[in-house]
Structure 1
Amino acid sequence: MNRLSVLVHTWVPDELRARLDDRFDADYHDVFADGLLEPEPLKERFRDKAGVLLLGPYVGAEIFDACAGTLRVVANIAVGVDNIDVDAATQNGVLVTNTPGVLDAPVADMSMAMVLAVGRRLAEGDRYVRAGRFRTYPFQLLWSADIGGETLGIIGLGRIGKRVAARAQSFGMKVCYHNRNRLPDDEAAALDVEWRSLPDLLAEARYVVLLCPLTPETRHLIGAPELSRMRDDGFLINMARGPVVHEQALVEGLQKGEIAGAALDVYEFEPKVDSALWEMENVVLTPHIASATRTTRLAMIDLAARNLEAALTGGDIPTPVNPEVLKRSF
């Protein structure tokens, strides 16, 4: 019996590779060793594949149209699916899956770490010591912002945002949030959070943490007008997706002193980063590692693989994004 072919566009641990090899005719591309495939090579590697285990590149309508009738599932190794044209997938009967839940706690931890890092100037202090400049008692050195007693504003109070709120409150912070849809009053009261309009949140919060998904509505949600509304002693922390922030507007706002600093784990054109950000002492930069604990990354890959396996060999799909496709027979 002919085995189904799959593309594995990611690194996978040896035990998972053996599992996939046992079930499928697998074509591997290690993005960490060889980089992301460009659009045309990616399209060619998708050809004749029943499923794809995917990390990274954009998969648009052209690929789904070209693979119609053969491709059954794209198992994304992320919560967000902004790298996939889900509408085109659905139109072509392709199931899309993601990896929610398993990364909530580490992303919340990292969000709070970035608040602390930019507010308390931790990266600056590290660079200061490494440069050999720590030679005397520095009473007036690197005075920083308070954490406790300040207001944290969360844009996107979902599963991760709620965990960030709890962590911030343990530091004595007040938490307000902005969602398109407000939480029920009893839930907001239980979480001890208060809703604000976006302009009001930006004006009030010392720390603004972005945790919203990337959608057409949230692309460039934070641009020049929004940065001008923030406090001049405020900090922007982007843990969502890079294009939620207009990166050039952020650079210009920082240069003008419209805000006090920023902490970024994601970038508008990643892996490219505006070189002006490299030179700014009041900016903390990390390479999209919010979920990068060993346990979490292995759990993400495993969940994506289980989605792939269930879609191709039968069984319940753990985390479908477009479950309406499941009503159709492959």
Structure 2
Amino acid sequence: MANILITQHIGGAGVQMLREARHHVTYRDKTEPMGQAELQTAVRHAEGLVCLLTDRVDTAVFDAAPQLKMIANVAVGYDNIDVRAATARGILVSNTPDVLTEATADHAFALLLALARRLPEADAYMRAGKYEKFEMFPPLLGLDVYGKTLGIVGMGRIGAAVARRGALGFGMKVLYTANSVKTAVEQELGAQKVTFPQLLHQSDFVSINVPLTPETYHLFTLDTFRQMKPTACLINTARGPIIKEDDLLVALRQGTIWGAALDVFEAEPEMTPGLADYHDRLLLAPHLGSATGETRRKMVETAVSNLLAGLAGQTPPNALNAEQLV
């Protein structure tokens, strides 16, 4: 029997899985993250940790948890965890890929379509009673999507799923950046690997699907936006700090790019001052990429299954550092 800390609300099913496995579970059933001091105190006797992307698990946490053996992150991204420091201490770390791929890609494409056809603005327009007559060229003219060029920044699981929706559903030409050639995606979709500047210059819609790393931090700045088409749209369902939001506001106000849709934010859950007040072709959502009931339940189940495997001395299916610990 192991002591397990669950840092935030994950629903009852995952907690029950751990208790049925006869582990001692401390469940903090709240929807906001702990402060660092509180987390360091709570994790003191934990052998297993279930955490969310808003929990910062760093060296100070590891120092406070000498018995910690396994961390199960309920997310596909793991920039909230110092994996290198965990590895140095022999602590397994896992994430939840695959189960959220399709839901997140659905959401990214929903943002793309809603932005291109200005649906939030149209809804507000109707509710304000402004629709008085049909016009051939109304105030809310949008952009065509079918047959346009879709740029995927990061052709991983989610990037490929977004590309598939664009190519197969909307006849879009797919360009992508990645660390290696994605042969299967190229064969399936006719996608073309290009340089980052080439993608910026040629794409009508740019979808961000890279993880947050030192290399991708502020990948999109005013200089980046100036390399994009003035009719281009940017969609971010990855991590907020990949975009420098102050620069995005400048680009939108100056007409450097046509529009943007953000599901994640640089200082989430806070927004850069001015972002919430800017309404013209800017769509904002509160980190809903994987937010369907079915997908979120699968994420929890996957994280718990990873943890149970790790605590049993097995290699978790989604271990991030198992090879380094061998």
TM-score relative to the length of structure 2: 0.94
Given the alignment, which residue of 9, 18, 39 partners 2:36?
A: 39
CA deviation after TM superposition for structure 1 residue 62, in Å: 1.5
CA deviation after TM superposition for structure 1 residue 325, in Å: 5.4
Structure 1 residues 273 and 234: CA distance shift in structure 2, 3 A:
same
Unpaired segments ≥5 residues, structure 2: none
Structure 1 residues 315 and 130: CA distance shift in structure 2, 3 A:
same
AA matched with 1:128:
Y
Shifted more, 132-141 versus 6-15: the winner is 132-141
1:173 aligns with 2:164: no
1:78 aligns with 2:69: no
Aligned to 1:290: 289
AA matched with 2:126:
V
1:140 aligns with 2:140: no
AA matched with 2:108:
S
AA matched with 2:207:
V
CA deviation after TM superposition for structure 1 residue 221, in Å: 1.0
Report Cα offsets for 1:173-195 as digits up to 9, x if no partner.
111111132334x7523331011
AA matched with 1:308:
L
Q: Distance in 2 between matches of 1:152 and 1:138?
A: 30
Q: Distance in 2 between matches of 1:31 and 1:128?
A: 37
Aligned to 1:26: 25
CA deviation after TM superposition for structure 1 residue 305, in Å: 0.6
The total of aligned residue pairs comes to 321
AA matched with 2:148:
E
CA deviation after TM superposition for structure 1 residue 125, in Å: 0.7
Given the alignment, which residue of 48, 62, 69 partners 2:45?
A: 48
AA matched with 2:297:
L
Identity %: 39
Q: CA RMSD in A?
A: 1.6
Q: Distance in 1 between matches of 2:213 and 2:57?
A: 15
1:121 aligns with 2:118: yes
DSSP-derived class of the 1:229 partner: coil
Shifted more, 11-20 versus 91-100: the winner is 11-20
* C-alpha contact 1:220 1:243 (8 A) present in aligned 2: yes
DSSP-derived class of the 2:234 partner: strand
Report Cα offsets for 1:30-87 as digits up to 9, x if no partner.
342xx1111111111111100111012111112113323x000110001111000000
Report Cα offsets for 1:132-156 as digits up to 9, x if no partner.
2223324432111110121110000
Structure 1 residues 325 and 25: CA distance shift in structure 2, 3 A:
farther
Aligned to 1:98: 95
Unpaired segments ≥5 residues, structure 1: none
* C-alpha contact 2:15 2:27 (8 A) present in aligned 1: no
* C-alpha contact 2:70 2:93 (8 A) present in aligned 1: yes
AA matched with 2:43:
F
